[in-house]
A and B are shown apart, each in its own frame.
Chain A
Amino acid sequence: MKAAILVFPGINRERDMARALKLISGHEPQMVWHAETSLPAGTDLVVVPGGFSYGDYLRCGAIAARAPVMDAVRDYAAKGGLVLGVCNGFQILCESGLLPGVLMRNARLKFICKDVHLRVERSDTPFTRGYNAGQVIRVPVAHGEGNYEADEETIKRVEGEGRVLYRYCSADGVVDEANNINGAAHSIAGLVNDKGNVLGMMPHPENHVEDIMGCTDGRGLFAGLTAHLDQAA
């Protein structure tokens, strides 16, 4: 794995992400500054980490989506390169047109930091092959704007194409409004683009990769990516 982690001013979970990637893949990822116009040669995974890029004083992710490095990311994604956006990263990917839809204020209008359960909808993607389809995992969320919305037609297409990979659910896998922590359409916690190479998700798998955190359910995502890239290499 040769991962590149994008760093925009105000991003703050880049170290958490780097630590998780290093721990699971064995390879140190490279930090890439927002003003760069190209990605390091040989990059096989681009990660847009969490935080508050540019303070998120405008629409979350709106300014980062226009940073120089994002042109390089768009080119890279167009060629089929893998992109993972977490939290603010998900918002940035939506704002940059790499994913459909938008992340709005949480339905209850408050920032939420807690462990949530996610149902893994399919296991035949690079982003979920570390899990079984239907498996329930526990990972933390930490966001104020994670309420995923898109127009009806988009949601229909995304669902029809099986592009929702993670959904908020109960501990035993029930998807309903009571467990939809931020009010997202169809309880969507993470989805991919039409080619399946760009994933955006609100929860933080990178914070649940070590025993000392009391849960290692986040490992599967990174282990799956590592296996996928090793296989491709």
Chain B
Amino acid sequence: MKNEPKITPELVAAHGLKPDEYERILKLIGREPTFTELGIFSAMWNEHCSYKSSRIHLRGLPTKAPWVIQGPGENAGVIDIGDGQAVVFKMESHNHPSYIEPYQGATTGVGGILRDVFTMGARPIACLNALSFGAPEHARTRHLVSGVVAGVGGYGNSFGVPTVGGQVRFHTRYDGNILVNAMAVGLADADKIFYAAASGVNMPIVYLGSKTGRDGIHGASMASAEFDDKSEEKRPTVQVGDPFAEKLLLEACLEIMEKGCVIAIQDMGAAGLTCSAVEMGAKGDLGVDLDLDAVPTREMGMSAYEMMLSESQERMLMVLKPEKEKEAEAIFKKWGLDFAVVGYTTPSKRFVVKHGGDVMADLPIKELGDEAPLYDRPHVPSAALPVVHAREVPAPMALGAALEKLIGTPDMCSKRWVWEQYDHVILGNTMQRPGGDAAVVRVQDGPKGLALTVDVTPRYCEADPFEGGKQAVAEAWRNITAVGGKPLAITDNLNFGNPERPEIMGQFVGCLKGISEACRTLDFPVVSGNVSLYNETNGRAILPTPSIGGVGLLDDFTKSASLAFKAEGEAILLVGETHGWLGQSVYLRDICGREEGAPPPVDLTAEKRNGDCVRGMIHAGTATAVHDLSDGGLLIALAEMAMASGIGAKLLAAPTSLVSQAYWFGEDQARYLVTVPETEAGRVLAKMRGCEVPCVRIGTTGGDAIAIAGEAPVTIDALRKSFERWLPEYMGGKAA
């Protein structure tokens, strides 16, 4: 075999491989690897592709339910929604590339996740995202928000999928390491799901899509390392997105799938040709021979090493039925895409790469994946924080003033500036647009609908990883419930710092335990996901951020609820128990300037009982408006319901047993606001008592203000002004 540069310890280290990992390679293959082989190992064994630090902990996640068709381990998860239809979805991070080059980083994040979904035979029907930026005052934040939002929109808008929901947050802990988590949801026939496993010996392996260039080489390795001050020098590792090529690839792939041409298919994502070819072979218990001379390239003189590690976008690898190869080729030519036979499956279980007549790599294919290092890294639990007692939190200002201020803070304010840059109406099925609890998207012509959401509260996860992990899942479940959906499954995108630090690993382990427990109790399994570690810069980690993407089903989309008040004079009911929990609340942080305390505990039994009851009211047609309570508690939720409708609320004073500001702004979990017609109020309250669901009447809709007895009213106009002001002003360069 030909060897280009000599393998030195420096070269091994530059590939992100530790000395003991290199020893493992030597033992596995019984000789020194070639340069190309070293590249292949670095691509397969980095954290991003191998999950070497997280794998043993991920095993504890519940992944099964009668409606789960495919759990984690494939390109995306698949669930059955009845009538022969399946929903395919996944969320994935593109954090490091987006910090280095926000527009391209975000576009390729969206492109990658869309590809994961249509690789399985699904037509994408919605996208969501969760974006975490640094403090508004940080020098790069404005530039990053602008670039990431333009990039997310730029790709989805052109590809032609509605971006229907998401989260945007700001916190100084993301200053040097933003998070861009993109989720895609697709619809497929339940009996026409496509997988990566190749089958049959001597079958042609076909390369489809865009040409291979030098972009993105070592992208996955870059994503598996911490950042420092020189991170911007890594720009060439960021890929470049081409949504037009992806749209063509989508149509061409779905067309050849429809025509029955495809045996196996794998998109080229992280670590490109390497990862996809190895996956197809290893999953099918077959070897793969690749001939790189046949790979369509964008540039002259690319080496085997470069071709194997390129992360050029919009590419696919397939095994086609030999008798259908000509038909498939004609379809690809029609769409103007490259089509080349680049290799064959073999019985040898070896991964052989040839270039210019030379063998550049010859490796055992199963071991490349299966024998990747697996670490049980030391982890220490986070120290428990003291509970903040409401009586020890003096109110710095009147309730009304606090509400008006809080609703205009960076985290709580309207994200209209963001989602108006995303086409959220294309395909004509978006029934609930961004800004509600969960987006609702009709399934084809109905009557079914999907409720989609992304959620997590990183400050809770930091303060108590276990409760925070539970809360992220519970809130996604609650979001879906609040629109009337039956929560079915989640995808998780686990963003953490450096796993080699025991306290970070402790956060990871704690959050995962919480997620597992919530998924189990709520019957809400994990069907796909992604782990992003090493999210830190110069030794400072991000807040632990396990984003949860949830999918729920509405059997009849006409039986859904939205948060806007529907009429004046309706009874406002508060479902769930209110203790006035101020620890880690946005009130404590943004009004009192104290980011402290234990987060609200999550009682999963209460979540389930209260949520099931609220969903029942929606399906029965009793509930006219529903909103789940989260950041900012009761008063923020009321303000959001009022702003969405233009109808105010007249509210009873806080119960005397609770501190007023804690009652109105506390973030106790498992709570909803529900409105019902006045004539129904008595009956509903009695029924809730019968089900042992805590439920009290707190007021009546009407007027043009949020008016609490004994307090100065705050008009909806004033609330809207505050709510809509900050983000456009900030992006226009005015506010900090």
- A, B: real partners: yes
CB nearest to B123 among chain A residues: A15
A210 touches B426 (CB 8 A): no
Give the Cβ gap from B157 to chain A, nearest Cβ, in Å: 6
Question: Considering the chains assembled together, what is the distance between the CA atoms of A20 and B430 in angstroms?
Answer: 15
Known: A56-B158, A111-B157. A9 touches B426 (CB 8 A): no
0/1 string, A34-74, CB within 8 A of B gives 1: 00000000000000000110111100000000000000000
Q: A217 in the interface, Cβ–Cβ < 8 Å?
A: no
Contact mask A7-21 → B, CB, 8 Å, 1/0?
001101101100110
Q: What are 10 A-to-B residue pairs whose CB atoms are below 8 Å?
A: A9-B248, A12-B158, A12-B247, A55-B158, A111-B154, A114-B420, A206-B428, A210-B428, A212-B558, A213-B430
Q: Assess whether B248 is in contact with A10, with CB atoms less than 8 Å apart.
A: yes
Q: Does A147 contact B (CB under 8 A)?
A: no
**Which residue on chain A has the smallest CB distance to residue B160?**
A12
Q: CA–CA, A51 to B430, complex, Å?
A: 18
Contacts of B423 in A (CB 8 A): 111, 113, 142
Is B477 among interface residues, defined by CB-CB distance under 8 A? no
The 7 closest A-B pairs by CB, nearest first: A12-B160, A55-B244, A52-B158, A142-B423, A16-B428, A113-B423, A140-B425
**Roughly how many angstroms separate A55 CA and B431 CA in the complex, as a whole number?**
28
With both chains docked as a complex, state the minimum distance between the C-beta of B446 and any C-beta of chain A, in angstroms: 8
Q: How far is the CB of A210 from chain B (nearest CB, A)?
A: 7
Contact with B along A182-213 (1 / 0, CB 8 A): 00000000000000000000001011011011
| B335 lies within 8 A of A9 (CB) | yes
Judge whether B427 and A57 touch: CB under 8 Å: no
A212 touches B557 (CB 8 A): yes
Q: Nearest Cβ in chain B — how far from A117, in angstroms?
A: 15
Q: Is the CB of B242 within 8 A of A55?
A: yes
Give the distance in Å from the alpha carbon of A204 to the alpha carbon of B431 in the complex: 16
Any chain A CB within 8 A of the CB of B442? yes
In the bound assembly, the distance between CA atoms of A207 and B426 in angstroms comes to 7
Provide the residues of chain A in CB contact with B431, threshold 8 Å: 212-214
Q: Does A112 contact B (CB under 8 A)?
A: yes
Bound-complex Cα distance A207 to B431 (A): 11
1/0 contact string of B719-731 vs chain A (CB within 8 Å)? 0000000000000
Q: How far is the CA of A114 from the CA of B430 in the complex (A)?
A: 13
Decide if A110 is an interface residue (CB 8 Å cutoff). yes
B153 CB–A CB distance under 8 Å:
yes
Query: Smallest CB–CB gap between A33 and chain B, Å?
Result: 8
B243 contacts the other chain (CB 8 A): yes
- Give the nearest-CB partner of A140 in chain B: B425
Report the minimum CB–CB distance from A203 to chain B (whole Å).
Answer: 11
Q: Which of A70-120 contact B (CB under 8 A)?
A: 110-114
Give Cα distance in the complex from A165 to B167, angstroms. Answer: 39
A145 CB to nearest B CB, Å: 12
| Interchain CB contact (< 8 A) of B427 among A16, A112, A113 | A16
Distance between A87 CB and nearest chain B CB, rounded to angstroms: 10
- List 6 additional A-B contacts (Cβ < 8 Å) besides A113-B425, A212-B431, A212-B558: A10-B248, A16-B428, A111-B153, A112-B421, A113-B419, A114-B420
CB distance from B153 to the nearest CB of A (A): 5
For the complex, give the distance between the alpha carbons of A185 and B427 in Å: 29
Distance to closest chain B CB from A138 (angstroms): 12
A19: which B residues are within 8 A, CB to CB? 428
Nearest B-chain residue to A16, judged by Cβ: B428
* CB pair A15 B248 closer than 8 Å: no
B336 contacts A by Cβ under 8 Å = yes
A10 touches B428 (CB 8 A): no
In contact, B158 and A16 (Cβ under 8 angstroms): no
Whether A111 and B428, one on each chain, are in contact in the complex, defined by CB atoms closer than 8 angstroms, is no
- Tell me if B89 is interfacial: C-beta within 8 Å of chain A: no
B195 at the interface (CB under 8 A from A): no
Minimal beta-carbon separation of A66 from chain B (angstroms): 15
Instruction: Please judge, given known A-B contacts A113-B425, A212-B442, whether A13 and B160 are in contact too, CB under 8 Å.
Output: yes
B174 within 8 A of A: no
Cα-based distance from A142 to B160 in the complex (angstroms): 11
Given A9-B335, A213-B431, residue A113 in contact with residue B160 (CB < 8 A): no
Is the CB–CB distance between A9 and B336 below 8 Å? Answer: yes
Q: Which residues of A contact B422 (CB under 8 A)?
A: 111, 113
CB-CB under 8 A from B427, the residues of chain A are 15-16
- CB pair B428–A207 under 8 Å, yes or no, is yes
Q: Are B421 and A12 in contact (CB under 8 A)?
A: no
**Is the C-beta of B664 less than 8 angstroms from some C-beta in chain A?**
no
Whether B349 sits at the interface, judged by CB under 8 Å, is no
B567-593, CB under 8 A of A: which get 1 and which 0? 000000000000000000000000000
Q: Does B159 contact A (CB under 8 A)?
A: yes
The verdict on B424 contacting chain A, using a C-beta distance below 8 Å, is yes
Task: Report whether B557 and A12 are in contact in the complex, using a CB–CB cutoff of 8 Å.
Answer: no
Beta-carbon contact of A113 and B428 below 8 Å: no
